[in-house]
Chains A and B, each alone.
Chain A
Amino acid sequence: MDLLIPLAQAAQGVTDTGVTDAGKAIALGVGAGLGSIGAGIGIGIIFGKEIESVARQPEMKDELQQIRWLGFALTEAVAFYTFIFGLIAFFL
């Protein structure tokens, strides 16, 4: 609830820092949230395609496994980049 108080104060025009704090909180929330959408879609595509490939060529399963984890980690990291930049916006 503490996060909402600056927002309410800002609406009444009580403080200027309240507006900044609210903006930072929104930057963190919206930034990290929107970043996760893209990474979520990407991870879905990677695993979907892998299932498709294994269904077509089951003998490739072991080779695909390593590529899958590589792709998963590379895509998942994108969500964390936005999260880190959101945190930078929040604390600086």
Chain B
Amino acid sequence: MSTKRKVLLGIGAYLGLIVVLFLILGDEGKNEAFQPQNEFELTPWIAINIGGLDLSINKAVFYLFLASGLTIGTMVFIARRMQQEPNRVQTAVELAYDLTRNNITQGNITDQRLAKRWFPFLAGLFFFLWFSNMIGFLPLPINTEHKVDVFGVEIPSLAFYAATANLSIPLVLTLIVWVSYHVEGIRAKGFFPYLASWLPPGLEDMNIFGKAFFFVIESISHFARLISLSVRLFANILAGHLLLLFMGGGLAVLLGIAALGIATFPLAFVFFILEVGLIATLQAFIFSTLTAIYLSGAVAAEH
């Protein structure tokens, strides 16, 4: 048998299995009790309400504290026991440190003093987002809706969630970045010269109305950064989690076609590798790189 025929036979058998399962099972996959979309619902664990403000502890808060704890813990742990001959973990952390220092910070900020001042913030942002994205792909016992009985102790079942898959956390980080690059620009140039530096170069001879028109456009682009920076991170992680959810069985449950599950389940593995291997790191990298670019753009002498 040639290779081509073997491959065709394999695909045929796989498709045949789906058709047979569909004929046997039909609509039996329908399951109203299990709602896969509840993955993104934030049920309060410890309800805290202060003056109408909902400050409840829920799984997003848990993931936030976990990511910060991991970031601080790993870095302090590695820094405490630095060795002359680095072991594997130290080498990996040193590589990541190198990436944040040389590529993200100094690659985008040419002013050495500015780079030195903002390096801790940029590196902290990178590591926090990286840990926050990565633990989003670890199944943790956070699903309080469905409990599992383990030796008489009721523990929540395993589920996925990521703090960055909730718009509020990227938005707060973006606001910090947005305010700090404006403050840095005003500190470097003064208030009105900083606003004037938004105008693209080559407009010096233009009359006041033309300049005002360009100023409005540039202001809109500065406010659009608020949306683009936060939604980029949020939507990437949310879409990744939605893909994993739907491919890993959610689609079959929602539509009530059990046979669909066997077609989508292998795809879940492919997307999992893509998300963990590329998207989680890339989004953390992009967020901190863009922060560095905005910072150096605000301080740069001209565009």
Contacts A/B (CB < 8 Å), 5 sampled: A1-B256, A69-B285, A76-B236, A83-B235, A84-B231
- For window 6-55 of A, CB contacts with B under 8 Å fall at none
Assuming the contacts A2-B254, A66-B107, asked whether A80 and B239 have C-beta atoms less than 8 A apart, the reply is yes
Supposing A2-B254, A66-B103, A66-B107 touch, asked if A77 and B232 sit within 8 A by C-beta, the answer is: yes
Query: What sequence of 0s and 1s flags, for each residue 66-81 of chain A, a beta carbon within 8 Å of any chain B beta carbon?
Result: 1001101110110011
Cβ–Cβ contact A2 & B235, under 8 A: no
Interface size counted on chain A using CB atoms at 8 A: 15
Distance between Cα atoms of A73 and B280 in the complex (Å) = 11
> Would A73 and B254 count as touching, CB distance under 8 A?
no
- Which B residue's beta carbon lies closest to that of A69? B282
> B100 interface residue, CB < 8 Å from A?
no
Q: Are B283 and A73 in contact, CB atoms less than 8 angstroms apart?
A: yes
Say yes or no: A73 contacts B256, CB within 8 Å: no
Contacts of B105 in A (CB 8 A): none
CB contacts under 8 Å to A, within B95-114, are: 103, 107
CB distance from A70 to the nearest CB of B (A): 6
Closest to A81 in B: B231
* A-chain residues with CB within 8 Å of residue B283 when the two chains form the complex: 73
Asked whether A80 lies within 8 Å of B236 as measured between CB atoms, the reply is yes
Q: Is the CB of B286 within 8 A of A74?
A: yes
Closest chain B residue, CB of each to CB of A66: B103
With an 8 A cutoff between CB atoms, is B24 at the interface?
no
Answer whether residue B257 sits at the interface, using C-beta atoms and an 8 A cutoff: yes
Distance in Å: Cβ of B259 to nearest Cβ of chain A: 13
In the complex, which residues of chain A have a beta carbon less than 8 angstroms from the beta carbon of B256?
A: 1-2
Number of B interface residues in the complex (CB < 8 A):
19
**Beyond A1-B256, A66-B103, is A80–B282 a contact (Cβ under 8 Å)?**
no
Collect the chain A residues with CB atoms within 8 Å of residue B285's CB. 69, 73
Bound-complex Cα distance A23 to B238 (A): 23
User: Of all chain B residues, which has the CB nearest A32?
Assistant: B239
Give Cα A81 to B289, complex, Å: 20
Cα A1 to Cα B258 with chains together (Å): 12
Whether B286 lies near A83 (C-beta < 8 A) is: no
Interface residue? B158 (CB, 8 A)? no
- Contacts known (A69-B282, A70-B286, A70-B289); A80 close to B231, Cβ less than 8 A: yes
Decide if B255 touches A83 in the complex (CB within 8 Å).
no
When C-beta atoms are compared, the residue in chain A nearest to B229 turns out to be A77
Asked if residues B286 and A80 are in contact (CB atoms below 8 Å), the reply is: no
CB nearest neighbor in A for B289: A70
Is B228 in contact with chain A by the CB < 8 A criterion? yes
Other contacts beyond A2-B256, A70-B286, A73-B286: 20, CB < 8 A: A1-B255, A1-B257, A69-B282, A69-B286, A72-B282, A73-B283, A73-B285, A74-B232, A77-B228, A77-B236, A80-B235, A80-B239, A81-B228, A81-B231, A81-B235, A83-B235, A83-B239, A84-B234, A84-B235, A84-B238
Contacts of B232 in A (CB 8 A): 73-74, 77, 80
Residues in chain A near residue B254, CB distance under 8 A: 2
Nearest neighbor of A77 in chain B, beta-carbon distance:
B232
Give Cα A81 to B231, complex, Å: 7
Asked if B255 contacts A2 (CB within 8 A), the reply is yes
Which chain A residue shows the least CB distance to B103?
A66
Whole-angstrom distance between the Cβ of B96 and the nearest chain A Cβ = 15
Q: Is the CB of B235 within 8 A of A77?
A: yes
How many Å from the CB of B80 to the closest CB on chain A? 31
Instruction: Compute how far the CA of A73 lies from the CA of B287 in the bound complex, rounded to whole angstroms.
Output: 10
Tell me how far the C-beta of B114 lies from the nearest C-beta in chain A, rounded to whole angstroms.
Answer: 20
Chain B nearest CB, measured from A28 CB (Å): 12
State the Cβ distance, B241 to closest chain A Cβ, in Å.
Answer: 12
